[in-house]
Amino acid sequence: MASEESLRQSLAAKLLEIESLGNNVRALKASRAAKSEIDSAIEALNGLKLERASIERDLQAAMNAAGDGSVNREVFRQTVVNTLERRLFYIPSFKIYRGVAGLYDYGPPGCAVKSNVLAFWRQHFVLEENMLEVDCPCVTPEVVLKASGHVDKFTDLMVKDEKTGTCYRADHLIKDFCNETLQKDLTITSEKAAELKHVLAVLDDLSTEELGAKIKEYGITAPDTKNPLSDPYPFNLMFQTSIGPSGLSPGYMRPETAQGIFVNFKDLYYYNGCKLPFAAAQIGQAFRNEISPRQGLLRVREFTLAEIEHFVDPEDKSHPKFSEGANLEFLMFPREEQMSGHSAKKIPLGEAVARGIVNNQTLGYFIGRVYLFLSRLGIDNDRLRFRQHLANEMAHYAADCWDAEIECSYGWIECVGIADRSAYDLRAHSEKSGVALVAAEKFSEPREVEKLVITPVKKELGLSFKGNQKMVVEALEAMNEKEALEMKANLDSKGEVEFYVCTLGKNVTIKKNMVAISKEKKKEHQRVFTPSVIEPSFGIGRIIYCLFEHSYYMRPSKSGDEQLNVFRFPPLVAPIKCTVFPLVQHEQFEKVAKDISKSLTVFGISHKIDITGTSIGRRYARTDELGVPFAVTVDSTSSVTIRERDSKDQVRVNVEEAASVVKDVTEGVRTWADVWSTFPHHSSASADDED
């Protein structure tokens, strides 16, 4: 197929031809030319129009292909979302009141998935690493978020419809304009198309002024009214409120949970026996008052974060358990590969750290743990990559930063950020609060350290420099070790030296009697420092949404006349682990079903008992759609069948054993393959997929 660019050129040429021939036809008509002449010109014109239509179709197809099948992706997404909403995995919040953009409820199965994901997170991170979990309020006083920088910098750029006051995100409007023009306006030149694509690529880097200029240049107006738009200006994304009745204590709903940990550093450090490294963790709600939320569950105004702050000595970022994960191999997308236009590739974690691609062992260790966490949840490893932030993406204080990105129908989505934030946060709160948030390394025996001492002799300096004395003193004291030792050598050999004082803008002459420079030995018992923090931060809702997409598939019903939805959740995350059905409505079968249900409750296995008279095939289809991994069908009073969701394999197990087999295979104590090889198989596939 021809390239998009060459098609745009042919189309432009064709349009010129059509215009010229059209003018020709009009001229023939005006000059009352022979009918046969006019007719043949019109025929030619129609031919050209057909050719144009054909080029337009090709161009459209080329753009769809270039868009990575965005149409197919949207169809897929709609299918998944329909299933999720119909089965109440989630619900637009306050639906009976026509809802609120960017707010969603988790319905029963979604809520169960979420609580399973969080329980596994606690097991995998908090328990496994002995982290200190805390639970802080969402309501946060202004001073805390002033110190963290959120009050001043947590903003998006907004434009307003100048007549109605409706607000839009400036970058969204430009993005929409570019995309729509590229998609729908087939007449634009290939240069113009390239320019719009460039704007899309650099959109995040544009300044307030540049965004404003683009809006003017493209003549973008308010989408709903076509009214003119204001210049872009920053809107703070925190939900503001007021603490207490006076109206004098502004507060915000926290935009992240991390600050609650930082302000408690001192207590937590003490609780940990004044030892580094240690990690604190928090799971909780966070809030962002998005200007105009899009992308369903991926961009919402309230969401659950799970965050870890691992505090470490900046001079030693090794990790004792790093070797345990050094052999892990998964898709990594380092800065250099991105800059040189390559794609993500598999690199063993140990190698990535050894080669300095990942800044340090601790950061590397957490990248490995995040990989294990996501893949055990059921995220497809081929659609999971760790992308390093480019230099311009990172905060100025960050040492290194990697995002776990998961590919879904919206593209590659950041779901976990793993950042080495150095000492920034603790320093900011130390400064604002006046409370030292530091750690100390106690030396086993005092260490002798040499310290440079510069002592200006103020009397002599005063005599020589009078009113300028203070500036000279400050300049002398500000010398670094190298400069001071050089001056000392010169003074010792020559007795005086020329010295540039920048606050005076000139050289002065310093004599030997004006300053004493020496190195003194001191004993120190400890080293006091601000710890670095390595922060893995998990967007739980985004992970869950991607998990939904990765787990979803369709398969034909047995009769082949319909497509059935299945979520292939691992038992770990499945909202319900098992369903229990009597094959037919029958008092004794119901009793057996209830007994098995009771045992499952005692084992703490969430399950559902279904004694409706619906056909067994229908009931299987219903639970496959909820991602229930196992089903127990009671068709006798002595033994039952247990069916596995994806293989649809069935085994026969004694009634007494049924609950504990389900328990073991759910908790991962034994595999389905093991169950399959232990118990007799249910020969007839009769039950399944019956209608």
Q: Which of residues 73-102 bind a copy of itself (CB under 8 A)?
A: 87-88, 91, 93-97, 100-101
- Pairing assessment for the beta strands 578-582 and 630-634 based on DSSP bridges: parallel
Residue 131 DSSP SS3? coil
Q: Number of residues in contact with a copy of itself, rule: CB under 8 A?
A: 83
Q: Smallest distance from the beta carbon of 554 to a copy of itself, in angstroms?
A: 22
Residue selected from 125, 269, 287, 366 as contacting a copy of itself according to rule CB under 8 A: 287
The smaller minimum CB distance to a copy of itself, of residues 246 and 684, is found at: 246
The smaller minimum CB distance to a copy of itself, of residues 139 and 554, is found at: 139
CA pair distance 154, 139, nearest whole angstrom: 17
**For the packed helices 70-86 and 540-551, what is the interaxial angle rounded to 10 degrees?**
100
Return the residue matching tokens 């008092």. 587
Q: Smallest distance from the beta carbon of 671 to a copy of itself, in angstroms?
A: 17
Q: Smallest distance from the beta carbon of 167 to a copy of itself, in angstroms?
A: 4
Rule CB under 8 A: is residue 257 a binding residue for a copy of itself? no
DSSP result, 408-432: ETTEEEEEEEEEE-TTHHHHHHHHH
**For the packed helices 655-666 and 587-603, what is the interaxial angle rounded to 10 degrees?**
40
Rule CB under 8 A: is residue 608 a binding residue for a copy of itself? yes
**Only segment of 34-42, 289-297, 324-332, 351-359 that touches a copy of itself (CB under 8 A):** 289-297
CA pair distance 544, 425, nearest whole angstrom: 29
Rule CB under 8 A: is residue 376 a binding residue for a copy of itself? no
Rule CB under 8 A: is residue 289 a binding residue for a copy of itself? yes
Rule CB under 8 A: is residue 246 a binding residue for a copy of itself? yes
Rule CB under 8 A: is residue 111 a binding residue for a copy of itself? yes
Rule CB under 8 A: is residue 243 a binding residue for a copy of itself? yes
The smaller minimum CB distance to a copy of itself, of residues 422 and 597, is found at: 597
The smaller minimum CB distance to a copy of itself, of residues 256 and 405, is found at: 256
Structure tokens at 464: 């020589």
Sign of CA dihedral 611, 612, 617, 621: negative
Residues linked to residue 104 through DSSP beta bridges, in sequence order? 92
333 conformational bin, left if phi > 0, alpha if psi -120 to 50, beta if neither: beta
The smaller minimum CB distance to a copy of itself, of residues 82 and 285, is found at: 285
**Only segment of 212-220, 222-230, 283-291, 409-417 that touches a copy of itself (CB under 8 A):** 283-291
Q: Smallest distance from the beta carbon of 124 to a copy of itself, in angstroms?
A: 11
Listed in sequence order, the residues at least 6 apart from 196 whose beta carbon sits closer than 8 Å to its beta carbon are 178, 181, 182, 188
CA pair distance 691, 684, nearest whole angstrom: 16
CA pair distance 92, 300, nearest whole angstrom: 11
**How far from each other are the two terminal CA atoms of the chain, in whole angstroms?**
46
User: How many Cα atoms within 13 Å fall on the side-chain side of residue 15?
Assistant: 12
**Only segment of 10-18, 195-203, 243-251, 355-363 that touches a copy of itself (CB under 8 A):** 243-251
**Only segment of 181-189, 286-294, 362-370, 417-425 that touches a copy of itself (CB under 8 A):** 286-294
Rule CB under 8 A: is residue 660 a binding residue for a copy of itself? no
Rule CB under 8 A: is residue 105 a binding residue for a copy of itself? yes
Sign of CA dihedral 322, 328, 332, 334: positive
Sign of CA dihedral 33, 39, 43, 49: positive
Instruction: Identify residues 413-452 at the interface with a copy of itself (CB under 8 A).
Output: 429, 432-433, 435, 437
Rule CB under 8 A: is residue 671 a binding residue for a copy of itself? no
Listed in sequence order, the residues at least 6 apart from 256 whose beta carbon sits closer than 8 Å to its beta carbon are 286, 305, 307, 537
**Only segment of 63-71, 122-130, 333-341, 460-468 that touches a copy of itself (CB under 8 A):** 122-130
Listed in sequence order, the residues at least 6 apart from 38 whose beta carbon sits closer than 8 Å to its beta carbon are 25, 28, 29
Rule CB under 8 A: is residue 604 a binding residue for a copy of itself? yes
Q: In the stretch 135-164, what mask flags binding to a copy of itself with x, by CB under 8 A?
A: xxxxxxx-xx-------------x------
The smaller minimum CB distance to a copy of itself, of residues 137 and 411, is found at: 137
In a 10 Å sphere around its CB, with 0-12 CB exposed, 13-18 middle and 19+ buried, how is residue 494 labelled?
A: exposed
The smaller minimum CB distance to a copy of itself, of residues 88 and 203, is found at: 88
Q: Smallest distance from the beta carbon of 235 to a copy of itself, in angstroms?
A: 5
Rule CB under 8 A: is residue 273 a binding residue for a copy of itself? yes
CA pair distance 212, 222, nearest whole angstrom: 14
Q: Smallest distance from the beta carbon of 278 to a copy of itself, in angstroms?
A: 10
Rule CB under 8 A: is residue 596 a binding residue for a copy of itself? no
Rule CB under 8 A: is residue 263 a binding residue for a copy of itself? yes
Contact of 662 with 577, CB cutoff 8 Å: yes
The smaller minimum CB distance to a copy of itself, of residues 148 and 633, is found at: 148
Rule CB under 8 A: is residue 385 a binding residue for a copy of itself? no
Residue selected from 41, 104, 347, 461 as contacting a copy of itself according to rule CB under 8 A: 104
The smaller minimum CB distance to a copy of itself, of residues 303 and 366, is found at: 303
Query: CA dist 540 to 304, 409, 549, 628, 648, Å?
Result: 6, 18, 15, 21, 31
Instruction: Identify residues 291-320 at the interface with a copy of itself (CB under 8 A).
Output: 291-292, 301-302
Tell me the chain's radius of gyration from C-alpha atoms: 34
Contact of 362 with 319, CB cutoff 8 Å: yes
Rule CB under 8 A: is residue 479 a binding residue for a copy of itself? no
